[in-house]
Structure 1
């Protein structure tokens, strides 16, 4: 088991995972160049859970600067997905623990994530991992 940053060669496996997250998306476009761009950006991470070359989970971590809490940044987790054939194996938990440890190491103020309102089992998972869905209400505006 290895949690690492995604590489260009992971494109097809990432595409498969994202298709499980948004099966009907017509806008999905996973590009090798964008994977590489994220990898070289020190504030953004596309993490994968890799077992012997097979990717069973992924998430995106963005570190955001702010002025409200001194020099402490905050983090946003997006596009978290575990392969449907490998759920309930603590893969999501390990990915989120990795994120939390990293965020603590750089003195983040908080970690935020959004989840589609209908993904009740995902909400239960996030709550078990210590995320409180009652603190804030999320809003999105697609462009």
Structure 2
């Protein structure tokens, strides 16, 4: 995948789940919806994702420590003349690594992977409360072009 002497970006494995889930839970939003004490549902989800060629769940590893994670989903569509798009989700960087450039490396990896998969568009959503993340994505060239909606089931 992407390697430097100090950092590697590689596919996530089940052994990475404790670190991934800890990062997902390490903010006010994640703390209310994640369950680091029970990894069973995460293991089942990761298995489904790994088996799907349109899903890429990756981790950033520094030394032997997982310091970030990201999910990239490839979506075929009819709109935009049958364009394929990618969706970046679940970007998390360990608190000790924030400000190190890892988030930029992750998004650049996702954009490069999207190009390799012939995507014409990369999109993502970010909770309205994550204003720092919004500025980060705008610095990387993303524009706030849509209003998102959710329906909890």
- Gap runs ≥5 in structure 2: 1-6
Aligned counterpart, 1:114: 125
Question: Aligned equivalents of 1:5 and 1:47: distance in 2?
Answer: 4
Count of residues in correspondence between the two structures: 142
User: Over aligned residues, Cα RMSD in angstroms?
Assistant: 1.7
Residues 70 and 53 of structure 1, relative CA distance in 2, 3 Å threshold: farther
Counterpart residue number, 2:13: 7
Pick 1 or 2: higher relative contact order, CA cutoff 8 A, min separation 6: 1
Correspondence 1:24 to 2:35: no
> Which moved further from structure 2: 22-31 or 42-51?
22-31
CA distance in 1, matches of 2:26, 2:122: 24
- Among candidates 68, 78, 90, match of residue 67 of structure 1: 78
Report the CA distance between 1:52 and its aligned residue.
Answer: 1.8
- The corresponding residue for 1:35 is 46
Distance 1:66 1:9 in 2: 34
The partner residue of 1:103 within 91, 114, 119 is 114
Q: Which of the two has greater helix per residue?
A: 2
- TM-score of the superposed pair, with normalisation by structure 1: 0.90
